[in-house]
Amino acid sequence: MTKSLEQIASDVRAAYSQGATAGMGILGSLAAAKIEIVHVPVHPRDGIWDGSAWAKAEHESLKMLDHALIGFSQELKSVDVFGDGLRTITILKGTLKDGTPLAHEVRTELTLKDGKIVKSVAYTNWGSESGLLILKALGMGDFAKLAAQQAAQQRT
């Protein structure tokens, strides 16, 4: 029997209370065989992914952030039932190598079908000051420039 969205949201809250790896672990376990990945602003790797490849990539992202930020954590601010899925808000926290403290909010809307995630829309806000600092820390300078350009276009 498929769990209700409220039950899945409760499971996500419980997993994130144990840390980012556990939180991403439960989301990865909910991935459908194929999942549509969308980022706002657009990311070069957007498109249809194998669910297991998406789950692995999300864990690799956590490892990269853990390496780039001192004391990295990803805290779940909220998870709510939203339409035919869930809306999560997480805060990426840590300290840059130069000592600058960082807190960056990411909102994600997950569409579920039969208890599995079939679409993820991540509002990464990379064009914000904190987003650009994370991209710089990750060595993604070219992508940071693109994100800044897209953010400037959205403001006009």
How confident is the model over 116-151, as pLDDT tens digits? 999 999 998 887 888 888 888 888 766 656 666 666
> Could you tell me if 21 and 62 are in contact, meaning their C-beta atoms sit under 8 angstroms apart?
yes
Is 3.60.20.10 the CATH classification of the domain at 5-148? no
pTM of the model: 0.86
pLDDT of residue 153: 65
Burial of 92 (0-12, 13-18, 19+ CB in 10 A): buried
